[in-house]
Amino acid sequence: MAITISGNSATTRTNLGTGTSATLDTGTSANNVVLVDGDGKLPNVDASNVTGLTNNLKWNLPAFYAYNSGNEGLTDATWTLVTDQFNATIINTANCYNTTTGKFQPTTAGHYYVEGQFHADCGSGQLVNVFAAIIIDDTANPDEGLVTQAEANEGSSNANEQSVNVSALIYLNGTTNYLQMKYYNDDTSGSGTMVSNHGNFMGFLVKAGS
C-alpha cells in the first residue's frame, strides 16, 4: 500500500491513520495521553479525575460512623433500642444514618459491613454482663429480626466496666431495609452509665448489587 507524505501535517496524519493522538503530549495532565510504565502499570492519577465511575465504585458509599457525644444513663436488665443515644456522626454520607431514630437505611442495594460497640460503666464491682445486638427492620423482641449478637459475661466476679463489640456482613435492599443497634446490661446497683464517646455504630457498603 502506498502512503503519500504531504507537506501538510494534518493530511499526512490522515494518510497514516494516526488521528489526533499524534499531536498530544504524554503524561497525566489535561489533554495528555497516559502511557503505562515498563511494568505495564498506569501512572498515579487522582481518583477524582477518573470519569465514568460511580461514587459507590470509588469510595464504598454509603458509609456512616455514629457515637454518643455525652454520657447515657443505662436501664438495668432491659434491652434498649439505640435511637438518639448515638447522636453525633463523624461520617454520614447521603444522611443514611438518622441520629434521632438510630436507623441506618442506605439508598444503595448491596452487602454492607456493620459494627457496633456498647460500653457499660457500673461502678465498683457491680457489672454482671453486657450484650450488644444488630437488628434489621426494627422489632420489639431482640430475637426477632436479629442479625447478630455478642456478650461479655463477668461470671461470679463482677467488674467495674466492660465493652462488647458486634459486627456483621448483611445484604440491604437499598429501599425498605434498615439496621439498628440494641444493648443490654445487668448491673447489681441498677445505676450504670455509657460514658461519652464509648458507644458507637458504623457501617459501609462492601459490594453494590445483589
* Burial per residue of 99-108, b for 16 or more beta-carbon CB atoms within 10 angstroms, e otherwise: beebbbbbeb
To the question of pTM greater than 0.85 for the whole model, the response is: no
Which residue, 123, 130, 94, 114, is CA-closest to 170?
114
CA–CA gap between residue 74 and residue 186 (Å, rounded): 10
pLDDT at 141: 61
**pLDDT average per 10 residues of sequence, the chain (210 residues):** 61 63 67 70 61 57 95 92 95 95 95 95 83 85 74 72 92 94 88 92 93
Length of the chain counted residue by residue: 210
Residues 6+ apart with CB under 8 A from 189: 122, 123, 126
The structural domains of the chain, ordered by start, are 9-45 (no CATH), 61-208 (2.60.120.40)
Q: What is the dihedral of CA 153, 121, 132, 164, to 10 degrees?
A: -70
E strands in 156-199: 161-172, 179-187, 193-194
Could you give phi then psi for residue 160, rounded to 5 degrees?
-80, -45
Tell me the pLDDT tens digit for each residue of 19-72.
565 666 677 777 677 777 776 666 666 555 655 555 544 567 899 999 999 999
153 beta partners: 129
CA–CA gap between residue 149 and residue 135 (Å, rounded): 9
C-alpha atoms less than 13 angstroms from C-alpha of 156 in its C-beta half-sphere: 0
Residues 6+ apart with CB under 8 A from 44: 28
